[in-house]
Structure 1
Amino acid sequence: MQVKEAIQQRRSIKHFDTNHMMTEKEIHELLSHAILSPTAFNIQNWRFVVVTDKALRQKIRSVSWGQAQVEEASILIVLVADLMAWNKEPARYWKDAPKPVQDYLVPAIQQYYEGKKEVQRDEAMRSCGMAAMNLMLTAKSMGYDTCPMDGFDFDKVGELLNLPSDHMPAMFVCVGKGIKEAMPRGGQLPLDEVVIQNQFK
């Protein structure tokens, strides 16, 4: 499938085949493409919690407004932001780069993030959003459907996943075989309403 086709065909699906299971190989393929998404300074500040445990999925559904896709999709991926990834052995993010690049970028990471909690959070959330798009487009190219979500209690999900104190949930992506098509698109705004040439007037 071409990238443009995947973009056009990807829809947020709410109803999944509860009997379908993804193979470990498929899940690995999906996540291997998710981690090719960009992150500032290559700090790779996303984490992917793949939830397959039925009892845990049921608990997560209970703090997600009872939304069925949380429990019924083949897998639930919780994208989690590691807010302190910038400070966890940052040299490893550039271990394969030429030494002059390492010498420049590794110290720059600390200079950019240290003491800036809002920047740490915003960057991590942006990173998770881009990774989620990679997940969804890869899933569509593999013949799977997805549903991105933020309709859940963030604190309670964090507790259920036993997240470290420097991690926070960003969003869910449910992945599986859809059994009911999405409703027709609600209506896209025209380009001339959302694209601004150079400056707002």
Structure 2
Amino acid sequence: MHVNEAIKLRRSIKHYDPKHVMSKEEIHTLLSNAVLSPTAFNIQNWRFVVVTDKALRQKIREVSWGQAQVEESSILIVLVADLMAWNKEPSRYWKDAPKPVQDYLVPAIQEYYNDKPGVQRDEAMRSCGMAAMNLMLTAKSMGYDTCPMDGFDFDKVSKLLNLPNDHTPAMFVCVGKGIKEAMPRGGQLPLDEVVIQNQFK
């Protein structure tokens, strides 16, 4: 599927075939494309918790306002932000780069993030958002539907997933075989309202 077609056809689907099982190969393809999404300084500050355990899915649904797609989609991927990825052996993010590049970028990571919790969080959330789009477009190209979500209790999900203290959920992406089409689009704003040429006036 051409990327333009995937963008136009991708919709947030709420109803899934709960009996459909994705293969390990399909899930591997999804995640392999997700990790090709960009991150600042290549710190790869996303983590992907793939939840397939039925009992755990049910518990997560309970703290997600009972939304059916959490439990009925083939897989639930919780995108988690590692807020301290920048400080975890940062040299490994540039291990294959030429030495002059390593010598410049690795110290720059520390300078950019150290003692800046707002920057750490903002960057991680942006990274998870971009990875989520890679997931959703890849899924669409494979014939699957998706639903991005932030309608859940973040603290309770953190506990259910046993997240480390320096990790926080960013969003869910449910993936599976949709059984009910999305409602017609609610109404896109015109480009001339959302695209600004050079500066606001």
TM-score by length of 1: 1.00
CA deviations on 1:105-147 (whole Å, 9 max, x unpaired) are 0000000000000000000000000000000000000000000
For the residue of structure 1 that corresponds to 2:71, the secondary structure is helix
The Cα shift of 1:63 comes to 0.2
Q: Report the Cα distance in structure 2 between the residues aligned to 1:26 and 1:189, rounded to whole angstroms.
A: 35
Q: Report the Cα distance in structure 1 between the residues aligned to 2:191 and 2:15, rounded to whole angstroms.
A: 31
Q: Report the Cα distance in structure 1 between the residues aligned to 2:164 and 2:119, rounded to whole angstroms.
A: 19
Report the AA paired with residue 56 of structure 2.
L
The Cα shift of 1:79 comes to 0.0
Gaps of 5+ in 2: none
Report the AA paired with residue 144 of structure 1.
Y
CA deviations on 1:76-126 (whole Å, 9 max, x unpaired) are 000000000000000000000000000000000000000000000000000
TM-score by length of 2: 1.00
Q: Report the Cα distance in structure 2 between the residues aligned to 1:200 and 1:29, rounded to whole angstroms.
A: 41
For the residue of structure 2 that corresponds to 1:49, the secondary structure is strand
1:98 aligns with 2:98: yes
Gaps of 5+ in 1: none
Give the corresponding residue for 1:169. 169
The Cα shift of 1:65 comes to 0.3
Q: Report the Cα distance in structure 2 between the residues aligned to 1:110 and 1:9, rounded to whole angstroms.
A: 41
Q: Report the Cα distance in structure 2 between the residues aligned to 1:25 and 1:133, rounded to whole angstroms.
A: 20
1:61 aligns with 2:37: no
The Cα shift of 1:167 comes to 0.1
Alignment of 1:44-193 (within 5 A): 44-193=44-193
For the residue of structure 2 that corresponds to 1:127, the secondary structure is helix
For the residue of structure 1 that corresponds to 2:57, the secondary structure is helix
Report the AA paired with residue 26 of structure 1.
E
Report the AA paired with residue 181 of structure 2.
E
The Cα RMSD (Å) is 0.2
Report the AA paired with residue 156 of structure 1.
K
Give the corresponding residue for 2:195. 195
Report the AA paired with residue 126 of structure 2.
R
Q: How many residues align?
A: 201
CA deviations on 1:48-95 (whole Å, 9 max, x unpaired) are 000000000000000000000000000000000000000000000000
Q: Report the Cα distance in structure 2 between the residues aligned to 1:116 and 1:7, rounded to whole angstroms.
A: 35
Report the AA paired with residue 67 of structure 1.
Q
Q: Report the Cα distance in structure 2 between the residues aligned to 1:124 and 1:36, rounded to whole angstroms.
A: 15
For the residue of structure 2 that corresponds to 1:129, the secondary structure is helix
The Cα shift of 1:16 comes to 0.2
For the residue of structure 2 that corresponds to 1:135, the secondary structure is helix
Give the corresponding residue for 1:9. 9
Q: Report the Cα distance in structure 1 between the residues aligned to 2:182 and 2:65, rounded to whole angstroms.
A: 20
The Cα shift of 1:169 comes to 0.1
